[in-house]
A and B are shown apart, each in its own frame.
Chain A
Amino acid sequence: MIPLNDEQEMVLNTVRDVVRDRIAPRAAEIDSKDEFPWDIVEVYAQNGLLAPLLPEQYGGIGAEYLLFAMIIEEISKASPSAALILIAQADGFLPIHSRGSDILKETYLPRLASGSLSAFAATEPGAGSDILSMKTRAVPNGDHYVLDGRKCFITNGSIADVITVFAYTNPARKAKGMSAFVVEKGSAGLAYGKNEDKMGMRGSVNSELIFEALAVPVQNRVGEEGEGFANMMETLDGSRLFAASQAVGLAQGAVDEAVGYARERVQFGGPIASLQAIQFMVADMVAYTEAARMLTYRAARLLDEGKKRQITRFCAMAKFVASDTAMKVTTDAVQVLGGYGYMKDFPVERMMRDAKLIQLYTGTNQIMRLVAGRDIFRGD
């Protein structure tokens, strides 16, 4: 459907093997125990999957966005929670990779490709969609900045070795007064609040981070002062693509379950697959999943081609289309399985719980429509 070269095929084949052998068998357990799957991080590290987007010089494979999107999709068919580890990882290192100094890149990126985890810390209790209302401050003081504030919901937060934190260096300048910093685990002044107890994406760690007079060396500032917001927005374009891919994979996983079940389940003297109500529901599930996948690949292509003018709109559209699709498809999959779908013996109820997050995070679907809508009316 989308032609891939041999190397890309090889990578995807590896991913499929890893998913089949190591991730799919663990998916239900990761959910029920709500334990971070360190074994899977290790599998990622061994197979070069922790940071495929990074160039080889930093230990990555220089993957295109499209390939990474497909990797996320494959993993999400079995476990969107396991995929979220890689998404948060990419969100954490992309700001460093795109605007960090050479020293910063050389210090951190190879570690992140080989086994360390990163996180992307923007959201605060009072600043989610309205991210510019964040309160975290970084005040310069000689050779370092003093960081004070509080972040929440941060994926990989309390387990990340390297955290990319967004803070105001000059709040009066709003978007132009925000900067990004790399904070290491174990820094004095970094404390962890609670990890969230969530409806779905269980196994993924979401933490409160508290910064109290935390000293960050000046050289850990990512790019110039005031570049933080632009860096965040660029990263979020990618992050929305990843969320879209996660949703497409999840929807596909649910489609596969529903189709398999409908073939086998007999009621009223025949498989329920022969009933129009089921056929139409499944036809919609498959059609919308394919459509979401195409839109997602389109967004990935635009990122790879650096089509700046269109990237933001398409990443936003892919994100809301794919996650709304995943929500509908997983809900219908539960319906197709009837009473069994409501039980934890089958994976579809987990898929339904997982799907809801993708409508919410990395920019809610309202914000995605707002971004796309504004862009559309701004004209081309």
Chain B
Amino acid sequence: MWELNSSQMLMLESVRRMSREVIAPAAARIDREGVFRTDMADMLFEVGLLQIFLPPAYGGLEQDRCLMFCLCIEEVARACASTALNLIIQTAGLFPLVEAGSREQQEKFFPRLSEGRELIGYMVTEPEAGSDVAALRSRARSVEGGYVLDGTKNFVSNGGVCSLASVLCRTDDGGLSFFVLEMETEGVVRGKAEDKLGFRGSNTQQVFLEEVFLPSHCLVGEEGKGFEIAMRDFDATRPGVAALALGIAEAAADAALRYAVERRTFNKRLVDHQAIRFMVADAWTSIEAGRGLIWRAARDNDRGRKNTKLASMAKCFCSDTAVRVASDAVQILGGYGYCKDYPVERHYRDAKLTQIFEGANQIQRIVIGREILKEEGRSGR
């Protein structure tokens, strides 16, 4: 269960090197400047990280795609969480096409998403529909030859920089349906970029859909199947969010440990004070436990087994871990931890997002509870 083959090891090793040598040195600046870095996204395309979930013919992985997706995210997140988020958004965005896209759609868009290096957004959340996805109001009215989309999408990651998006709207049947959207289409209006606590190098933007006409062939899968696709999308990407959180936790824990073996108070290394030693022990324990959950959630996804419960467990546990470990890391660095000369305050700000997005942790617990009850043959509603 815990083995990787040699080509997988090789891939990870190269991702690790790139993260350490190229991404990590840029991370503080990416955070400070708070602008999306196209060069970083290009580099992720270059090494194939944004294509992992595409079919192998388009640069995707033959096997273990969810596991490798997670392990790569973790490595990049250790260097820069904002950069790592691209893997998740790109995968969430292209997933409906991979799962439910027609042959024509796949032949049209997959080349653009691989050699074409186009970014694809994932537009589900709305002002009135966050946790409650089923409440979404954006409409896709059937008209002659296609659909007309209307609505407001919130918090669209890469919303200002993507050229494509998977957008979820309510169709006339009352159900939810995915559409593939060219962002240049008339009526697609990008709002302002959000100013955030963390993930400052990630672009988050509102997108307005104002009478956007889409030809019929832009519908992805069948009408009314959007919600199901979105849930399967979560099964694949939530382990990735867990890995994002794990990478942040590891980065914070590493920085704290490096500091704690150097800094001395009261004639001891910090790490020789029990209060600090125990924080280190707790951090490493949670990180290992989180890694175990991610591997299981990802392995099951790769083997086509239902992984909803494990995916939510991994997401919830790893993000809670990230917030605690990063907070402790700031604490271990004392006054220095609070200042921007050291990376831990950034890890702390970044960590908080992982408890909120891709389903807030309250929603993860609802899902976990429901799945447990289902497994027990009880009603989970």
Contact = CB atoms under 8 A, between A and B. Distances in A.
Interface of A: 123, 128-130, 133, 152-153, 196-200, 266-269, 275, 277-278, 327, 331, 334-335, 338-339, 341-345, 349, 352-353, 356-357, 359-361, 364-366, 369-370
Interface string B353-365: 1011100111001
Contact of B132 (A267, A339, A345): A267
17 contacts: A123-B335, A152-B335, A196-B339, A199-B330, A199-B338, A268-B135, A277-B362, A331-B352, A334-B356, A335-B356, A335-B361, A345-B194, A353-B197, A360-B330, A360-B338, A366-B273, A369-B275
Interface stretch (B5-13, B123-131, B142-150): B123-131
B361 A342 contact: no
Contacts of B154: 339
Q: Which 9 A-B pairs have the closest CB atoms?
A: A130-B265, A199-B345, A349-B197, A344-B195, A267-B132, A197-B340, A366-B275, A277-B362, A196-B339
Interface in B341-355: 341, 345, 348-349, 352-353, 355
A342 B360 contact: no
Given A342-B353, A356-B330, A366-B275, A335 B339 contact: no
Interface residues of B, number: 43
B327 interface: yes
- The residue among A342, A345, A359 with the most chain B CB atoms within 10 A of its own CB is A342
Contacts of A357: 338
A277 B356 contact: no
B338 A200 contact: yes
Nearest to B334: A128
Contacts of B2: none
A129 B268 CA distance: 12
A133 B267 CA distance: 9
A278 B365 CA distance: 13
- The DSSP consensus for interface residues of chain A is mixed
Contacts of A130: 264-266
Contacts of B275: 366, 369-370
Contacts of B349: 199, 353
B196 interface: yes
Contacts of A339: 125, 130, 154-155, 356-357
- The residue among A152, A334, A369 with the most chain B CB atoms within 10 A of its own CB is A334
A132 B337 CA distance: 21
B331 interface: yes
A299 B335 CA distance: 25
B72 interface: no
Given A360-B335, A360-B338, A338 B131 contact: yes
Interface string B236-264: 00000000000000000000000000001
A190 B150 CA distance: 64
Nearest to A348: B197
B265 A128 contact: yes
A268 B131 contact: yes
Interface in B114-137: 125, 128-132, 135
Interface string B305-345: 00000000000000000010001001100110111110001
A110 to B, nearest CB: 32
A133 B264 CA distance: 10
Contacts of B273: 366
Interface in B182-198: 194-198
A130 to B, nearest CB: 4
